[in-house]
Chains A and B, each alone.
Chain A
Amino acid sequence: MPIILNHVNHIYSAGTSYEVKALDDVSLTIDDHEFVGIIGHTGSGKSTLIQHMNGLLKPTSGEILYNGQNIHDKDYDRNSLRAKVGLVFQYPEYQLFESDVFTDVCFGPKNLKLSKVEVEARAYDALNLMGLPKEKWYSSPFELSGGQMRRAAIAGVLAMKPQVLVLDEPTAGLDPKGRDELLDVLSRMRTDEGMTVVLVSHSMEDMSKYADRVVVMNKGKLVMNGTPGQIFSRYKELEQIHLSAPAVTYIMEELRRAGLSVPIDVRDVDEAAEAIKKIIL
């Protein structure tokens, strides 16, 4: 069930001196089972954009369609939309509030007015999916490590069984180990559970490794939309909007400058190594 944004504009504090055009005529389609990455400099409108996807923010003008229906129609059930499009905010561990992890994860499905059995079954599945060690399930969320708290919080959204999972910089502040584990879980959500994943991230390496398609935002406008290869080969433009390509792109550029005819648009270190081997060996 695709999400379609049609010419969406969003203006904060309209009519005051603080007026900010956070989204400027954004049109975007997110198809089923896609892994879409959204990148942009801080303040480029990424967070505003994703808050439109489950109806938390209402566009100043333009429309958002989920499964062909306008989500701001008078009789549209936005509460059920929030179960279908799960939104994980930045530093989601700051929203944990229950006395133990399991009860906290139950909060979402309980709000959907499901039976107790169903609620607990979903919480069980979600915690399993996020790979949180079982001995932590009944301890206070505040006794977990940073990475575990993050996973418990994401499980709280997963327990609502969303079809689309939207995450705002889920790896911010995690160490490399925590980051890799989390991204692997997200990538499995897509392959094993058939979920659509929308990931906002600053890490170009992560985008290149996981995303099918990358959307670039700048000053509220959608400025690029394509495969990671297509986007990162335009790294000169990315730099102008305070972004950069993955480190490996710059390595390849340096090698070309030194006279090696290697391609620029490699996805990761493995592809780079293959390309260099082809030329040298």
Chain B
Amino acid sequence: MFTDITLGQYYQTKSVLHDLDARVKLVGTFLYIITVFVCNSITAFIVAGLFLTFVIAISHVPASFMFKGLKGIAMLIIFTVAFNLFLTPGTVIWQYGVFHITKEGIRIAILMLLRLTLLISGTSILTLTTTPSNLTDGLESILGPFQKVGVPVHEVAMMMSIALRFIPILMEETDKIIKAQTARGADFETGNLFTRAKNMIPILVPLFVSAFRRASDLALAMEARCYQGGAGRTKMKPLHYEKRDGAAYVILVVYTTVICVITW
């Protein structure tokens, strides 16, 4: 059940997007998030949507795979949309008890739906086309200047990449623990919120124990392989810009300008 969540996992294939420098993709994602937030007209959303469609198309990640990822957080989107739809004050066009739908509500709900969908698909493209280690290398390089003022950039990047490596393992483990406790007659489906939360203990305790055990094993393994933090380390795959990265930056600038022009 948990192993079905594909959101944020690297999808291995060959594409221009996979070959791009991680820094370009990080900057691009950052810019895209901003543009999606400043979008306030349907035209702007259409441009943002078209841009995303273009990016997904050149990523060679199957659309079905992307949408499967979205399914995992569909509840969140539906909840937010419903919240805005029913609870925004304004000109009432439909009412039932405390629930009412307003003109403004519909507008905000649609904007929210578009915004969230674009945001989530947009950011997941980043992780789908970039290996965790590339991603952290990119982050480390972009945030590098902050290291000088005492921000532990390397450590944070290393922690992130390790977390990403262990997410699928821990997901699988969770699935196994749930099954094992179910085989011992545990019930995770009935009862009120409080009992249900209490019923999670037989899952959470073993999961934490296992995560700590793995962490201590891993720390030892890293030490055995001469890891001593970021100082003095070299890179197997250092980042350097190619022509295509320049082209990508140009496209990004053009896209951002278009959105800004439409919005203002």
Contact = CB atoms under 8 A, between A and B. Distances in A.
Interface of A: 13, 16-17, 51, 54, 56, 79, 82-83, 86-87, 89, 92, 94-97, 107-108, 111-112, 142, 156-157, 160
Contacts of A142: 209
A157 B184 contact: yes
Interface of B: 4, 62, 64-65, 68, 173, 176-177, 179-187, 201-202, 205-206, 209-210
B202 A107 contact: yes
A31 B137 CA distance: 58
A54 B202 CA distance: 20
Contact of B185 (A83, A92, A94): A83
Which of B173, B185, B187 has the largest count of A CB atoms less than 10 A from its CB?
A: B185
Contacts, number: 59
A111 B179 contact: no
Given A94-B177, A94-B206, A94-B209, A79 B185 contact: yes
A82 B182 contact: yes
A86 B210 CA distance: 23
A111 B184 contact: yes
Which of A83, A94, A96, A156 has the largest count of B CB atoms less than 10 A from its CB?
A: A94
B183 A157 contact: yes
Given A89-B176, A94-B177, A97-B201, A160 B184 contact: yes
B185 A108 contact: yes
Contact of A54 (B65, B183, B205): B183
29 contacts: A13-B4, A16-B64, A51-B179, A54-B183, A56-B179, A79-B185, A79-B187, A82-B182, A83-B185, A86-B183, A87-B183, A89-B179, A89-B183, A94-B177, A94-B206, A94-B209, A94-B210, A95-B206, A97-B205, A97-B206, A107-B184, A107-B186, A108-B185, A111-B184, A111-B186, A142-B209, A157-B183, A157-B184, A160-B185
B183 A82 contact: yes
Nearest to A86: B183
A48 to B, nearest CB: 12
A92 B180 contact: yes
**Shortest 6 CB-CB distances between A and B: which pairs?**
A111-B185, A97-B205, A108-B184, A87-B183, A95-B180, A89-B180
Contact of A156 (B176, B182, B184): B184
A54 B181 CA distance: 13
B181 A95 contact: yes
Nearest to B64: A16
A94 B205 CA distance: 10
A95 B177 contact: yes
Contacts of A79: 185, 187
A106 to B, nearest CB: 10
A112 B159 CA distance: 42
B185 A112 contact: yes
Contacts of B64: 16
A89 B182 CA distance: 11
A236 to B, nearest CB: 35
B2 to A, nearest CB: 13
Nearest to A97: B205
Contacts of A13: 4
